[in-house]
Amino acid sequence: MTDRRVAYRSAALLLAYPDERLVERLPLIRAALEEQAAGRGRAAQREPYTHLLSSMEVVEQTPVDVLARRYVEVFDLDRKHPLYLSYFTDGDTRRRGEVLAGFKQTYRDSGLVVDTHGELPDYLPMVLELAAHDPERGLALLERYRPSVELLRLALEQAAEKDEAASTPMPWVHVLRGVCATYDGPGPQDRAAAMAMAGPPTETVGLDSYDPRLLPLSESGGAR
């Protein structure tokens, strides 16, 4: 992975709950992405920014209240699209607790002041913020949890196919494509290939991976 801090910072903002603060930042996000895209010679180097700019187009053309309702439907009410990276890989509650503690320690070690807003520390937008602030530590987490990121991309792509027919906004699929484009090598084309990237399962005690009880859901729809 090359230095793509602008991509990670932009992706973090675009994956957060859409509100007026995001609307105010859109011109700055677009300007930064366009500058980065223009400065990349090869198409592969521009790909993350191209996907993120595609997300921007949807966000800019959709009223923020419509986006907010859709965000809740996609990420809070549909358990197929968790933004929590260890949800995909560590279904055992005991092990997942240890993993989440590791995320917290990584934030401390980086010196990044994180306001979780009630989210778990494996919340993808926070990990992307870390990658923008401390590339070494942030990219290590993104690489370790690449299977989770790819699985989320695949799930959103499947949902986007249905949304396209219903003319429902789904800007977040472009964000995940942009994040996945920062990885070295081709991404998996289906769920089985993405799960194979994670390797053999670790010892599990308690709840299995993908058990819906492991996914934290806030009453109001996450960090708002």
Could you state, in chain order, the average pLDDT of each consecutive group of 10 residues for the chain (224 residues)? 84 96 97 91 85 97 95 92 89 78 92 78 95 95 95 93 74 97 90 78 46 38 43
**Helix or strand run (H / E) with residue 13:** helix 5-15
pTM reported for the whole predicted model: 0.84
- Report in angstroms the alpha-carbon separations of 77 from 150, 216, 221: 20, 11, 8
| Cβ within 8 Å of residue 3, ≥6 positions away | 135
Encode pLDDT of 36-55 as tens digits: 999 876 777 899 999 999 99
Taking residue 48's Cβ as centre, other Cβ atoms within 10 Å add up to: 29
* Spans of all domains in the chain: 5-214
